[in-house]
Chains A and B, each alone.
Chain A
Amino acid sequence: MDIKIKIEKLKVAFGKNEILKGISADVFKNQITGFMGPAGSGKSTLISVINRMIDFEDHVAIAGKVYIDGEDILGEEIDDVQLRRRVGTVFAVPIPLPRSIFENVAYGPRLQGISDRIKIREIVRDSLKKAFLWDEVKDRMNTSALKLSGGQQQRLCLARTLALVPEIILLDEPCSGLDPISTAKIEEALDELKKDYTIILVSNNTKQIARITDFVSFFYMGDLIEYGPTERVFTNPSIKQTEDYIQGKFG
């Protein structure tokens, strides 16, 4: 398996508060990698380093390296806007832009300078299909995205990210506010998508992690406690803390 993202001794601190205390891990291409751990363990912070959204936070100190395809993305010469075309993000709370369903998905492609109507329509349709939303919205593409249900909005956000044609998709607890049916649809979509993308899924839901990830890493208090193939970690965790977490003894 090819390594897509290589994280080396990554440390992140907000002011004096150390959130990540020297993480090293490889994320493999075309796999779903889960980041699990209790709140405040640093998993979302790690996501925000990979997509460089952490640039928008104040008083951040970062040390260590993160490579995507061997390229150091924390380097000065990296264009963060270009990076975010390669690394798409879906956030915990679905946040549609206040415009139509169509325009939400078309937002990214238009920013990339694609103006051909037929091409845009094609991208929008394909992205919505991949996110398992097309059938539900194809007849009302011009209605406001804010009128969709929570589950639909989250799939719209996924479609919007897919429309960027990224290489990596980061999902930060994408199902935390969704009902089981919507969650199942998102999981179904992710399982299809891993053929073409490298996916990182942050989740507090250990069952979801067990269901759909290929690899899993367990974070606790800013440390990476355990990392390995999901099946192995869940059936035979090598560290007591991981076992306790999986069994729901804390979290």
Chain B
Amino acid sequence: MRINPRIVDAAAKVGLSGQAFFTVGILIVIVAIICVKGLPYVNMEFIVSSPEDMGRHGGIFSAIIGTGLLAFLSILFATPLGVGTAIFLTEYTKESAFTKMIRFGVESLAGIPSILYGLFGFIFFVIKLGMGWSLLAGVLTMTIMILPTIIRTSEEAIKSVPRNLRIVSYSLSATKWETVTKVVLPAAAPGILTGIMLSVGRAVGETAAVIFTMGSSLRLPTSLMDSGRTMAVHFYILAREGISMEKAYATALVLVFSILFINVIAYYIMNKVTSRYS
């Protein structure tokens, strides 16, 4: 017997919306738990004062700065490298064994667990190059770790720019570089930004690779060679060592909202910038 298509249609609608609500629901529950448990301990003092007594008292100012520096500097290094690689792969080479090899390498790098990056960073940057546990070692490790994401998303974004726009640009006597910078990149910018924001999320949320390379010093990092602690690492240590669950949840709350904040700001700026190109 054939089921009435209208009934199937209605069932699909109910089923799919159920799945969507379930997904969003889980997110809301997580954020709600963090809010309920963390909110009572978050205040201005918590944000602007440095941790005391292993983090049992005081705030998380040094961890906020540590997180910000790590994320900002890694993005600063990884974006030009990653976007440059993506431009090279899409615009300056024809599909060949060579590009396939690079692409395969990138895919493989994207799948490596972060702790392996941490181990590599520890052996190479911290020990071999003698950087010690430092912001610099952390930033370099994180740069390598987020590169595959930036390359892949940028490549997809650049590929999705219609070929016709390039043809028109060339026909108006633009060189390849002019076409890339004036037409392709502005059109691909929103997609590239998505990759960057995913990377910010990874850098801000990473623990394993950071502990191995940047260390977990509670002091405020004042130079690239200082060790430091990110909020994620701070949260991990507070919870893991049973130092203070209250402070741990408060840290988590600040972490979640800073990611949200960064996203809102980034997309706001992007809208301002790309409105000229629509």
Contact = CB atoms under 8 A, between A and B. Distances in A.
Nearest to B164: A95
A45 B39 CA distance: 68
A53 B164 CA distance: 12
B186 A111 contact: no
Interface string A79-112: 0011011001101010101111001000110011
Interface string B145-166: 0000000000000000000110
B187 A98 contact: yes
A160 B164 contact: no
B172 A164 contact: yes
Contact of B165 (A51, A95, A112): A95
A160 B178 CA distance: 17
B164 A107 contact: no
B163 to A, nearest CB: 9
B173 A97 contact: no
Interface residues of B, number: 20
Contacts of B277: 98-99
Interface residues of A, number: 28
A161 B172 CA distance: 7
A87 B113 CA distance: 54
B93 interface: no
Counting chain A CB atoms within 10 Å of each CB, which of B165, B168, B170, B182 scores highest? B168
Contacts of A146: 278
B168 A91 contact: yes
Interface string B226-260: 00000000000000000000000000000000000
Given A111-B178, A146-B278, A98 B165 contact: yes
A246 B54 CA distance: 91
B194 interface: no
B63 to A, nearest CB: 42
B276 A99 contact: yes
A58 B170 CA distance: 16
Contacts, number: 61
Contacts of A157: 168
A111 B174 CA distance: 7
A93 B164 contact: yes
A144 interface: yes
Given A97-B183, A144-B278, A107 B172 contact: yes
B171 interface: yes
B168 A97 contact: yes
Contact of B172 (A56, A84, A99): A84
A32 B131 CA distance: 71
Contacts of A88: 171-172
Nearest to A157: B168
28 contacts: A53-B167, A53-B171, A58-B94, A81-B173, A81-B174, A81-B175, A82-B173, A84-B171, A84-B172, A88-B172, A89-B171, A91-B167, A91-B168, A95-B164, A95-B167, A95-B168, A97-B165, A97-B169, A97-B183, A98-B186, A98-B278, A99-B276, A100-B276, A107-B174, A108-B173, A146-B278, A161-B171, A161-B172
Interface of B: 94, 164-165, 167-175, 178, 182-183, 186-187, 276-278
Interface of A: 51, 53, 56, 58, 81-82, 84-85, 88-89, 91, 93, 95, 97-100, 103, 107-108, 111-112, 144, 146, 157, 160-161, 164
